[in-house]
Amino acid sequence: MRVGVDTGGTFTDVVGDDGRIAKVLSTPDQPGRAVRRGVEGLGAGSPQLMAHGTTVATNVLLERRGATVALVTTEGLADVIEIARQDRPSLYDIFADRPEPLVARELRLEVGGRLGADGAEVAPLGESGIPEIPEGVDAVAVCLLHADLDPSHERRVAGVLAERGHEVVCSHEVSPEFREYERSVTTVVDAYLRPATRSYLQGLAEVAEWVLVMTSAGGLVALDEAADHPASLLLSGPAGGVRAAADAAATAGFPDAVSFDMGGTSTDVCLISGGAPAPAAERRVAGFPVRLPALDIHTIGAGGGSIARIDPGGALLVGPQSAGAAPGPACYGLGGTEPTVTDADLVAGRIPEDTELPGIGRLDRERAAAALERAGVAAEGVIAVVDASMEQAIRAVTVERGVDPRNLALVAFGGAGPLHACTLAAALDMTAVIVPPRAGVLSAVGLLSAPPQAVLVRSWPGLGDRHGLPAARLDLARAAARHVVGVEPDTPAKLLLNQTTATATVTFEDATTVEVELLLDCRYEGQGHELTVPGVAAFEDEHRRRNGFARPGAAVEVTALRAAARLPPPTEPGQLPPTGRREPARGPQVLAEPDCTVWVPDGWSAQVGKGGSWILRRSRS
């Protein structure tokens, strides 16, 4: 049996490839315990494979409980991680601060030697000058100037430190891209997360015969690789949901959509274009730029467990504080006393009073109503405020990026997503709302149907000079294919390039075939930001779409090469057994399912579409 396991802030969801579902309360203090309980809840013994989405790395960073890290960098660059960029997090807020660096000033150490902007050695590295690492350091991040172009200096420093018995993380292994601040911070974050995340993941090795972990880029990697580079896991769980949402939308006939995942503690949204989730080269987590491939997921602190309160000025606020799994919303009856969105949905009649949740039992409407009354808030007000926050999140991935939401469908999932989706779709005049089968556990479904994937990025040293670019792209495609298959770097492989689609097919001697997507980071000469496109010829159209203008005839620079190699997923999308029969419905009506509840407002109707999804539309009369 193969299973997908998604650990959320409130529930841990498990889906088997035979269609069975288990949902258990998460255990934030020991997240592995909920994973084991969930897998055992399927009653199928030890799985052959577990595809896992985890929040452990994210929580360690948010809660600032990672390792003690030392940074070894080029002479003169020790303060780069603190100087950061000129831009401010809030331009007119004099009290706004950047997050405290993850490396204390006394643990930022420098070495001599230097590479130039072309990767050539300017000053030799003297190994005798490699500093001693102070006592009490758990991991060392090594980030030397221009190591994205030539990692030789970094390798020598890392070799010496490893011989001294230190845990070492090098920037050329984590984020081999230009821009020293982002590369340094990403490397430090990786080192900061490694001990805690590795301990957690290694503890799951016996849960299944084979464990794969979802990365922020929407693909699965081996357990050891995930443990070695936990900075790649910061969007691990949400990425699974986006993958499944894209598949469900395309199957239902809506290749252009927005995924809307509302869980217990947060809401995640992502633009889907042509059946594929939008990618991002960088992500900010806890205020830190993490320059690693990821799906372009926008997250806000709004979920079923988000707490409602009146601020000192008399305004109603909802979130980002959450009741989580413990004590949970008041209606859970587990000790929670503060009103949450789930309490408001229950009191407003969007959740049936006889609803029972795994590990909780029947929801208590009286407790929910009492919590709202004590706080002096109305259920309808709480729902309106949280809906406004989520509407703004959807605007952030559509309107603010030049995409008209009126041409898109909204894919609603997570335990609370289908309760609020129609209101959001109406506010943005979206085409339809799609509620896939198993919507309440869709992130776990997405983990099970995600492909094993390797995403490699390389800086392009020539910038404006594109000589040798085609050969470099093919070399990177072969490297990505070898990586995802798990063979030696020099293993022979044949490559067939499709120039039209910017993809390559790599075939090994044993007939193993890997599909590789090829992309470039491009910009106009002198620009400070890049766009990721299939090729230089596609840059002008993408620039016009994203920015509203183009500069025909202007020189285009290539700054980085990207290759994403993928293998077939453990379970193909749509292969899970069908769920219970769905029937057409007309609002106002509550549609209760084992893993979620769907609210169909007055003036809306629900039809069953291809793939078993409910397609909800409102009357245009």
Q: 345-400 pLDDT, tens per residue?
A: 999 999 988 888 877 889 999 999 999 999 999 999 999 999 999 999 999 999 98
Provide the pLDDT for residue 280.
Answer: 87
> With contact defined as beta carbons under 8 Å apart, do 221 and 412 qualify?
no
Instruction: Please report, for residues 255, 396, 495, 535, the alpha-carbon distance to residue 549 in angstroms, rounded to integers and kept in the order given.
Output: 26, 20, 36, 18
- Output the pLDDT for position 465: 59
pTM for this one? 0.91
Q: pLDDT at position 507, please? A: 95
pLDDT, tens digit, 9 for 90 and up, residues 133-148 = 999 999 999 999 999 9
pLDDT, average across residues 330-341: 94
Question: What is the pLDDT at residue 168?
Answer: 97
The pLDDT assigned to 596 comes to 87
State mean pLDDT over 329-337: 93
Cα angle 279-201-479, degrees, rounded to a multiple of 5: 45
Residue 462: pLDDT over 80: no
What pLDDT is stored for residue 394 in this prediction?
97
Q: Among candidates 272, 263, 323, which has minimal Cα distance to 28?
A: 323
* Alpha carbons 154 and 74: distance in angstroms, whole number: 10
Could you read off the pLDDT of 201-238 as tens digits, one per residue?
A: 999 999 999 999 999 999 999 999 999 999 999 999 89
> Strand, helix or coil at 45?
coil
Confidence of residue 586 (pLDDT cuts 50, 70, 90): very high
Which among 249, 265, 203, 247 has a CA at the least distance from the CA of 52? 203
The mean pLDDT of 38-59, rounded to a whole number, is 90
Stretch 169-173: mean pLDDT: 96
In the chain, what are the domains?
2-62+198-233 (3.30.420.40), 453-566 (no CATH)
Is the pLDDT at 550 greater than 80, yes or no?
yes
| Mean pLDDT of all residues in 530-544 | 92
The rounded mean pLDDT for the chain is 92
Query: Mean per-residue pLDDT for 432-458?
Result: 95
Q: What is the DSSP string of 78-138?
A: TTHHHH--S--SSTT-TT--PPPPSS-GGGEEEE--EE-TTS-EEE---GGGPPPPPTT--
pLDDT at 509: 92
Residue 357 sits at φ, ψ, to 5 deg, of -110, 145
Per-residue pLDDT at 88 exceeds 80: no
Task: Tell me which of 36-50, 309-323, 504-518, 572-586 is least confident.
Answer: 572-586
| Residue scoring higher pLDDT (85 or 391) | 391
Higher pLDDT, 95 or 517: 517
Give me the mean pLDDT over the 317-335 stretch.
Answer: 89
